[in-house]
Structure formats: structure tokens, C-alpha cells
Amino acid sequence: MGFNFEDLDVYKKAIDLVSEIYLLTKGFPNTEMFGLTSQLRRAAVSIPSNTSEGSARRKKDFSHFIDIARGSIFECVTLLHISFRQSYLDEKRLLILEMI
């Protein structure tokens, strides 16, 4: 049984981003477990979660959930830039993650 949101390209890309974020943050220092690691993972998970939840709502509500997901994307970009500045990822990986 499939759900309509699973066919959305934005949902598929968001799931890919979550997987990449989890792989990336496995290499973060343990001191970041409750800082960047947690915040980056939660922001990434929020994107497909809000997309799927919003798809079950009325059109007006769906727009609201997409706005929340969009905010989470911006949060991820900011957190990735902070992670880059802390040398937790290199510029090549940063650019690849920004393109997902």
C-alpha cells in the first residue's frame, strides 16, 4: 500500500538528505551529540515529515506544512555551514549536501 506523498520528488530528495545527514553526523565529535548532531538530524527529519503530514491535509494546510519544511531546509543549510566552519565536513561534501 503506497501513499501519495511517496511519489513526490521533494519527499524522495528529503529522505535522501536525511540519510546523508545521518551518515555525516556519525562522524561528528561526541561533544556534538546534543548540539549540532541532534539539531541537524531533527531539522533534516522535519522536512519529509512535514511534507508527508501536510499531504494528508487540506490544500491550505498543506501549504503551511510545506512552509515549515522549507524553514527546516534553511535550518539545515545554516547548520551545515556551521559544521563546515568547525571542520566537521569539507567543502565538497557541503556542496553535495546543498544540491540534494
Q: What is the DSSP letter of 56?
A: T
Q: How far apart are CA 35 and CA 37, in angstroms?
A: 6
Per-residue pLDDT of the chain (100 residues; tens, 9 = 90+): 578 899 999 999 999 999 999 999 999 999 999 999 999 999 999 999 999 999 999 888 999 999 999 999 999 999 999 999 999 999 999 999 999 9
For residue 20, the model assigns a pLDDT of: 98
Q: What is the sign of the dihedral through the CA atoms of 42, 83, 18 and 66?
A: positive
For residue 10, the model assigns a pLDDT of: 94
Residue-range domains of the chain with CATH: 4-99 (1.20.1440.60)
